[in-house]
Amino acid sequence: MKPPTETTSAPATAHSRYLDDVPEITAVEVIAGHGLALSRRPLDEMHGHEVEISPLFSFISAGTELHALRELSRAGVGSHPPARMGYSQCGVVTRVGEAVRDLAVGDRVVAIGAGAFHATRTVVAQNLVVPLPEGVCPQAASLAAMFCFALEGAHKSAVRVGENVVVFGAGMMGQMAARIYRLSGARVCVMDSNAFRLGLLPAGTTTFPLDDGGWKQLAAWARPHGVEHASICFGGDATEVIEKLKPCMSVAPDGVPHGRIVFPGGAKITVLMASNMGNIQLVSSAKAGPGYRDSRYESGADYPAVYVPHTVRRNVETMLSLMGDGRLDLSKLVTHRFAFPDAKNAYAMLQQPDVEALAVLLEY
């Protein structure tokens, strides 16, 4: 890949059907030792299994992207290559590779993962590109990657109808997780002390503050079965939360706690295992679904559905189906939109302390 400072265009590929030729793009990047930049660079060369997209909206992942921005800004100049930001967008297909199935120029699509950057044109592997159904809000659909991370965590929870689930954190991951667990038929509550974020939960969601009174309320709410599942949807140290949660979990007649705690967020914990944690299962969930980051799958291969039913592509399709049926509304989560040339202002706002913002989109 040529460095972003060069202006020579990538050669047009013979393996595509395209709308127009865009030799150069603008992308949001983090430059080591400098910080955020809107860089001009050649459009990535497209292969036969890929799709070129003109984005309409892309979602800024505050956790992942701000972490990268902080780390690379502190790094030495030239110590790392430029890092392109973004991995979740909605847009219009402008070119399709010869091996691409069921997509055509002009289709509105959702794209996630590698390639779905904040940029004026993107190139994404076909299994990470899903058609946008008629009537589904493109702004809300651009949150697809975050939904998939939360859905994969819910799959690993293996929650059954009527079971007690507590979601910790009402940020983007917690908002998605709470909605998914409610749709699954579980009995759901959310613990957070941020009034702004709690106000964005679906009407009727049970909430408790993260204080002594909140823990007492959680224990009472979960009786007589106790908390059977928990989802830790915030970053940072979650050790204290886990220790306070243990007495609220389901308990066997011999006093040993049971249940499952899933970690779809970037939390860390320090716990003593064996008798201290009893039979509580701690489950890490780090992907948007099977196939994510598998180049062969992303390029168009598939897994046998009977063995791997919930692939990353199916997770995106699930979100769009729920939105199309009116059972899932994510529009309330979009609190801010910035024109793409104002991307630096969007990141600056997200870095302000106590900012009242959740899903922030770049609009093209």
Per-residue pLDDT tens digits of the chain, which is 364 residues long: 333 332 223 333 334 455 556 679 999 999 999 999 999 999 999 999 999 999 999 999 998 999 999 999 999 998 999 999 999 999 999 999 999 999 999 999 999 999 999 999 999 999 999 999 999 999 999 999 999 999 999 999 999 999 999 999 999 999 999 999 999 999 999 999 999 999 999 999 999 999 999 999 999 999 999 999 999 999 999 999 999 999 999 999 999 999 999 999 889 999 999 888 999 999 999 999 999 999 999 999 999 999 999 999 999 999 999 999 999 999 999 999 999 999 999 999 999 999 999 999 999 9
Contact 138, 111 (CB under 8 A): no
**Which residues partner with 232 through β-bridges?**
168
Burial of 269 (0-12, 13-18, 19+ CB in 10 A): middle
Give pTM, 2 decimals: 0.90
Within the chain, residue ranges assigned H as helices are 62-74, 138-141, 144-157, 172-183, 195-198, 212-222, 239-245, 295-298, 312-324, 343-350
Domains of the chain (ranges, CATH numbers)? 16-143+290-363 (3.90.180.10), 148-284 (3.40.50.720)
Which of 118, 114, 66, 63 lies closest to 90, judged by CA?
A: 118
CA distance 292 to 169: 25
Query: Under a CB-based contact definition with an 8 Å cutoff, are residues 30 and 70 in contact?
Result: no
Residue 156 token pair: 């690993």
